[in-house]
Amino acid sequence: MGNISTSKVQTGDYQTFFYEAGEKTAQTVIFLHGSGPGASAKTNWEGVLPAIGEHFYAVAPDLLGFGDTDHPEEYPENGAKWMSARVDQIISLMDTLEIEKAHLVGNSLGGVISLNLLMYAPERFNKVILMGAGGGLTEPTPELGKLANFASDPSPVNFKNLLRWFLYDETFLEAELDKIVAERMENFNRPEVRRSYAANFKNSHLSDMLVPPSALKRMENEFLLIHGHEDRFVPLESSLYVMKYLQDAQLHVFKRCGHWAQVEQKDRFIKLTTDFFNDEL
């Protein structure tokens, strides 16, 4: 990852690993990744952080239970407690890095965490981008079911299928797909990562991910929602549901795009993000 550095700092009782780009004197943008097998800040954001770092101070942590952040010895009992632990993680990271206020970019699970952060500490956040984000009232898709149950049969074939389903057109990454599968499987097969993944989904339910309309209506932040029209993991209906209740929001929908807008629509995603945080959108 060019022009990117990594650090690990204390956040509560454990250390959080994160990537950073840009100058610390610039506006801060915190990027929160999703929850697929082998997910991490690197796998989610490596293609866009260098460009974002030209305009902002970009911080992308590995969420608790993923990547190179310390893994719990005792896991949260349910999805609600996982969520609280991750909200605490981000607030603690901001305190440690002396970030008083930040913009947020949340993908999938990271989008749900972003909304929970706004319920927990609204004064700490400015503008928010939700990309392929959960939080809305939608039934889980078969693809999401396969993702949640991946630890039951974590084969490279099953993982390659999952990655294909993330994309509208897998030929876009066909030459790199086997390499991505190998890298993420290597990460996933670390015992602590595999245990955390299984624990994360074992006692979590879709209801843990829903954000009440009463909470959404009270959010005064300015939102940009980005969604792939063909997203099969978090359908577009989730963003439409959230959009119905947010007071200050706009929605950008990409045709011919699945769950990873930052990959399939990389240049447009970077421009949208930069313009939005620079008050040009």
Residues labelled catalytic: 108, 231, 259
Q: Are 41 and 115 in contact (CB under 8 A)?
A: no
| Cα 245 from chain centre | 21
Nearest CA among 132, 133, 183, 168 for reference residue 264: 168
Within a 10 A sphere around the Cβ of 3, how many other Cβ atoms?
Answer: 11
Collect all residues with Cβ–Cβ distance below 8 Å to 281 and sequence separation of at least 6: 224, 250, 272, 275
Torsion 20-67-35-87 (CA) sign = negative
Burial of 137: CB neighbours in 10 Å, binned 0-12, 13-18, 19+ = middle
